[in-house]
Amino acid sequence: MSNPAHFVLGFIAGEGSFHVRLVVKQNEKVRPYPAFGLKVDEITILEKIRTEVGAGYITTNKDGHSTWQLQSEEDVLCLNDYVKRHKGDWFESTHKHEQFKKWSEVVELTKGKSNANMEKSDKKKIVEMSFSIANSDNGRAVTKKEWRQRIENE
């Protein structure tokens, strides 16, 4: 591979999924978690990507499809830094870069914060970005309006 970063960013642009999980913790407070997934049938490609980025883990389902996932704060911060360091004009021209910018902002808003020290206004902003990355309320158990209400009621 002459430039592994181009290889990685190409897969991210084509097959990657930047997303934000919204969870209600036991204390009834909404907690946002930025995450990332990349699903490819060839596990060796995912292993090369994971090694190059230096973060995440790979799972394989019963049908043999493998996914590189990043969910811990450490892994998410690592990917965020990797993309920022290596993205070029071609990546910035993709739709995936628009998703990355929103996701990256969520990463920065959540970095090192617990529910106790996260402002309601930041949580509401994260809900808006979460739904704009995914593009709709379709298929979600809780709507954007319901998430905003839950945050308001904390």
Per-residue pLDDT reduced to its tens digit, 6-15: 999 999 999 9
CB 50 within 8 A of CB 56: yes
> What does DSSP say about strands 30-40 and 16-24: parallel, antiparallel, or unpaired?
antiparallel
pTM of the predicted model as reported, rounded to 2 decimal places: 0.89
CA distance 94 to 102: 14
How far apart are the C-alpha atoms of 19 and 28, rounded to whole Å?
22
Contacts of 12 (CB under 8 A, 6+ apart): 38, 83, 91, 96, 100
Domain locations along the chain: 4-152
CATH code for the part of the protein at 4-152: 3.10.28.10
| Residues of the chain above pLDDT 90, percent | 55
pLDDT tens track for 73-91: 999 999 999 999 999 999 9
**What's the pLDDT band for 136 if we cut at 50, 70, 90?**
low
Angle, helix 95-110 to helix 73-86, in steps of 10 degrees:
140
Range from 8-12, 49-53, 73-77, 138-142 carrying the lowest mean pLDDT: 138-142
How is residue 96 written in tokens?
């995936």
